[in-house]
Structure 1
Amino acid sequence: MDHLPPHPGADAAESRVAARADAYAAAPLLGCLLREVARPVTDEPGVHLLPGCGKLLRVRGGRRPAAPEVRTAGGWHRLDHAELVKLVAEELRRHTGLSNHELPAEMADSRDTVAALLTARARATAPADPYLRSEQCLLTGHPHHPAPKARGGGPAATWLPYAPEAHARFPLTLLGVREDAVVEEGDCSALDALGAAPPGYRLLPAHPWQLDLAAAGLAGAFADGRLIRLGTTTCDTWPTAAIRTVYAPERDLFLKFSLDVRITNDIRRLWRHDLRKLIRTDTAVRAAFAALDGPAAWLSDRGYRTADFAFEELAVLVRDGLRGHLVPGATPYLAAGLVEGFDGSPLDGPADPAAWWEAYLGRLVPPVLAAFAGHGVVLEAHLQNCLIACDGDGVPVQALFRDAEGVKLPPGTDRAAGWERLVYCLVVNHLMELAEALAERHPGLDPWPAVRRELARHDLPEIPALLTAPTLPAKTNLLLRWTGADGAAAHYRPLPNPLAGA
């Protein structure tokens, strides 16, 4: 067959996608660079010194830096994403004295992922459910990570069918695990309702992408009958913002899987050491929430099931659904989705933005502080682990929290370290981002006095220092990844504290 000539508008469309992908990928990379390394030039707005290489960088935009330029002998030179990656790598080599060949490749992969997602979204239909839209809207993702959308460098065809940002939905693969090889803790009964296993076997759902990634290591188990294929679920699941966690609306059930792909800082496996402490952690958090006043809810990680010959590879974690926890008539939204923006977001049209913000703070902040004050529980209350439910008028009426894996408990976490982690997740990662998004949509609104008032209502010994400290702890994702630190490690650098001047 003869090759057809390209459509006259094809090149222009590809150029538009490329430019948008560059912009989406540059914003979080610049966010890291400006927060962790660069130094502002006080007499030139938007200009920053890169101290390692001595070059000047200029950016535009508001809360998301854009249009990066580097000063050359001939003036300002606009950087595309590939040139920005080279500049960042040069600066980090000089700044740290270390080389890193993996991270620049991840930065490029993240940008190419965005391009593929933009193309796929143009052909996809967003979910009708506003909650699912909020989970699947994150084209930028983590606003202070150098490669938030990297998918392990594999071809787009291997991961696009499972990408929340492409509005994916898919059935899970059903496996049967021979009963003598099953390992489980907690309440996994919801898994047995997903299908039927033959005598001598237990049902184990699997994420199709993870099953492909782990195929070579499972060949022996399929061959000797420890593992059998049982088809797929009759209902679709929707990948959430976490990618490896899916929601089955018909079952009102969340399931979290291993995924042997680096996403942001970590290979996203359900690690054995985390699973072994899951029930203890979840029990402690449920006890903390049982003692709370108000409607805040914890989506319990009830238990996990796996196979002893592929403990981490095939693990699946069972998490509470939404309906048993939601305030009647309320609609939940992912907090990260509110920051990113999506069709139908309650952040777009509150009649009284200041009152909306006070309601938001009044639902989010008290349970986080009470769990810490009364039980030493440090919730990982960042944007991706928090849902905010709103009533029919779009007013926040409830906060829901999730993910026992990120929770810190005593005695393994001392109070000072736990408080630092809480402040980073709640104030820097969550409130700071949402405050900026709200102020951008509603010019003239200063969101920080309300945050200060809400925090000051709580009788914790750490609060006075939080309200007056000149800086807050900001996690250094760029330097963490460049230096090869453990992805679970928390390295912070000081960030100006907006509470001190509120």
Structure 2
Amino acid sequence: MNTLSLQDHALDGEAQRHAIECLLNCYLREYALPRNEANLHDQTHDLPMSLRQGNGRCISIALPSGRLVVRTERTSLLGRCHYNSAPYFKGNNQSWQPLQANELARLLCTPLSGAERVSEMLQQVANSLQITRTFLRHSRPANDEADSLLASEQHQLWGHALHPTPKSREGISHDDLLACSPEVGACFQLYWFKVDPTLLRHQGEDPRNTLSQLSGRDDAYPCHPWEVARVLADPLVKRAQQLGLIQYLGPLGQAMYPTSSVRTLYHPQMAYFLKFSMHVRLTNCVRKNAWYELDSAVALTRLLAPIMSELAIQQPGFLLMPEPSATSLDLSAFGTLEEAREVTECFGIVYRENLPLADREQYRPHVAMALFTWDQQDRSACRQHVQRYADNKGLSLEQATLNWLDAYAGQMLGGVLYCLFGQGVVLEPHLQNTVIGFAEDGLPCRVWIRDLEGTKLVPEIWPAARLSALDERTRSSVYYSAQKAWQRVGYCALVNNLGEAIFHLANGSDTLEQQLWARISDLLRAQSTRLGHPPELRELCAGGPFPSKENFMTRLLMRADREAGYTLLPSPLATPEEKKSA
């Protein structure tokens, strides 16, 4: 076996290990633990020979067809595990067998749904695994010094740690994948059309200067490379081409960088991020800009402007990233409303304000997901940031970690909870939507929350009269009930975001993990007092459970992301007595 094949074999093993970790963690959290079908400290003697010795503890899961065991290096208070063995399965009256990711996925999914849904899930697991292999083979070291934000956007190799298919991108060729994916440091030109100005529609700020800067022309309009084939095949676009109103120009102009969301593109010298439509399923959703989302992003930016000003007073250092403009083409003169909306969605672009260059240079921003993850040497990426802060201040690593979390969580929770309980605004502060800025000593001092597509409003605080400028469909798309609002905010802030942050910051120390959650408990109690003790926070501070989104079951059952279910996780804030009485 030559050196290259040995390296490829090692990378394939890494891809397998991470796929297995995602599947097992999802299944444990959403299914096995809530049903008492998992033992997080299995001390039975009936184990595979390779698991009878080694560091860590063994976890066993009871399945309808047998028993699954795996050794874990660390297990968090939220049931999040990092494994250091293959999973082994023992069917009834059979011997132990090690499993690969596809075999594990089949074993876990088959009892839970019908053949068609299971088959689709298995295809998506295989797609995610193959794409992860591809990224590992083509990844490049991040240049954090040149542009910390770009480096953090483009080097999230593993993706969502508790999603069964974190890197699935359906229907994309190998060459297109490498050309346009952030994980391999891609940078590419947009595909442009010469467009008659009568077809162009924009809402909010006029972004045509940015389009001219990118294309070098005053009459051109872009789409994403992965969307161009769909656009060219559209009958209304063909009709407009025949009439000389649209002309395909192909790739041209300045190149842009894909960010961690894949479809949102960045250029350090442009005023905006450009969020494009693509009819490609990434993880749960087809990532198109629905016509009503083009309306709602700009409307929410306008409606939330006073709240952004209030945040500067109430929670300095916590900021929202406005989306002040949206554009598309209107071809309604050439077809039905439904046909025209298809074109509107294909060409739809949402413009998100870029961070000012001065802020990027001063605060060295990083996407949170790039910090609370593993690097390719299986180390927690955030640890080097904490170590730098500890060295700067002459602190122990433990004390530095506690200070670091205090600073970050104080900013993030302070802003997010004020928006929800003080203003009825439902943000989505998951790891990919959260950007962290740092003071000169390395301590977090800024938090930006982005992506107004996921931002919703609570109707009791935002009645229809306050949203009279929106049509009924757009208005309904921005509403969440109070219950759903808390589920989404609680999950994003406490489980997806801080759950992963503490898992990585604790670095396998049970004592430090408990201390970190105690700091979160203190912060939540202070925020509850500040906000007048809303029932959700009062219950949480009394040891109530955390809401956790069911990514595994949502994907398996083919539900829309908005209709995702939630599992209640035992609180890591609770005392043992509170846990017993819950």
Normalising by structure 2, report the TM-score. Answer: 0.79
**1 CA distance for matches of 2:217 and 2:360?**
36
- 3-state SS of paired residue (1:362): helix
What SS is found at the alignment partner of 1:305? strand
Q: How does 1:8-27 map to 2 (within 5 A)?
A: 8-27=2-21
Q: Which position in structure 2 is the counterpart of 1:414?
A: 481
2:308 alignment partner, SS class: helix
Aligned residue type for 1:141: G
Decide whether aligned partners of structure 1 residues 444 and 493 sit closer, same or farther in structure 2, where only a CA change above 3 A counts.
closer
- Taking structure 1 as reference, are residues 327 and 213 closer, same or farther at Cα in structure 2, changes over 3 Å only? closer
Matched, 1:137 2:155: yes
Check conservation: 1:301, 1:404, Cα contact below 8 A: yes
Which residue in the other structure is 2:111 paired with?
Answer: 91
Q: Which whole-Å CA distance do the structure 2 matches of 1:222 and 1:61 have between them?
A: 60
CA contact (8 A) 1:174 1:204 kept: yes
**Aligned positions, number:** 490
> Which residue of the partner structure matches residue 483 of structure 1?
557
Alpha-carbon distance, 1:408 to partner: 0.9
Aligned residue identity for 1:206: C
Give the alignment partner of residue 221 of structure 2, picking from 196, 204, 211. 204
Which of 189, 193, 202 is the matching residue for 1:171? 189
- DSSP 3-state at the match of 2:425: coil
* 1:66-91 per-position Cα deviation (integer Å, ceiling 9, x unaligned): 52221245643221122112212323
Which amino acid is 1:290 matched to?
Answer: S
- Read off the aligned partner of 1:18 and give its amino acid letter: D
CA contact (8 A) 2:543 2:575 kept: no
Aligned pair 1:182/2:221, yes or no?
Answer: no
Structure-1 residue corresponding to 2:447? 399
**1:479: Cα distance to partner?**
0.9
Structure 1 residues 358, 288: closer, same or farther in 2, change over 3 A?
Answer: same
1:435-475 per-residue CA deviation (whole Å, 9 max, x = no partner) reads 11100177742310111111111234132211224421111
Alpha-carbon distance change, 349 to 213 in structure 1, aligned in 2, over 3 angstroms = farther
Residue range with higher mean Cα deviation, 80-89 or 105-114: 80-89
**How far does the alpha carbon of each residue in 1:463-490 deviate from its partner, in whole angstroms, 9 at most, with x for none?**
2211224421111111111112112223
Whether 1:472 aligns to 2:546 is yes
**8 Å Cα contact 2:189/2:256 also seen in 1:** yes
Aligned pair partner of 1:41 in 35, 39, 42:
39
For 2:2 and 2:40, locate their aligned partners in 1 and report how far apart those are by CA, in whole Å: 47
- Contact map agreement 1:471 1:494 (CA 8 A) in 2: yes
Matched residue, 1:102: 120
Partner of 1:268: 287
The counterpart of 1:357, out of the listed 392, 405, 425, is 405
Equivalent of 1:149, from 164, 167, 187? Answer: 167
Q: CA RMSD in A?
A: 2.5
Describe the SS at the equivalent of 1:326: helix
The CA deviation at 1:229 is 3.7
- Cα offset, 1:392, TM superposition: 2.3
Q: How far is the alpha carbon of 1:140 from its aligned partner?
A: 1.5
**Amino acid in structure 2 at the alignment position of 1:209:** W
User: Displacement, 1:277?
Assistant: 1.9
Match of 1:78 in 2: 98
Distance 1:216 1:98, change over 3 A: closer
1:298 pairs with 2:320: yes
Q: TM-score, normalised by structure 1?
A: 0.90
SS of 1:392's equivalent in the other structure is coil
Per-residue deviation, residues 53-109 of structure 1 (Å, max 9, x unmatched) = 44334342333345222124564322112211221232324xx79843211100000
1:346 maps to what in 2?
385
Q: Matched residues in 2 for 1:325 and 1:438: separation?
A: 29
Larger deviation, residues 254-263 vs 324-333: 324-333
2:568 pairs with 1:494? yes
Report the residue type matching 1:358 in the other structure: D
* Contact 2:322–2:352 (8 Å) recurs in 1: yes
| More helix by percentage | 2
Matches within 5 A, 1:298-447: 298-309=320-331, 310-323=343-356, 326=359, 329-341=362-374, 346-347=385-386, 349-351=388-390, 352-411=400-459, 412-440=479-507, 444-445=511-512, 446-447=515-516
Higher mean Cα deviation, 73-82 or 16-25? 73-82
Determine which of 52, 55, 58 is the counterpart of 2:70: 58
Question: Once the two structures are aligned, what percentage of the paired residues are identical?
Answer: 28
- The answer to whether the 8 Å contact 1:182/1:305 transfers is yes
Pairing partner for 2:520 from 422, 441, 451: 451
Aligned residue type for 2:100: D
> Cα distance, 1:172 vs. partner?
2.1
SS of 2:136's partner is helix
Q: What's the secondary structure of 1:60's corresponding residue?
A: strand
1:11 deviation in Å?
A: 2.9
Shift of 1:366: 0.8
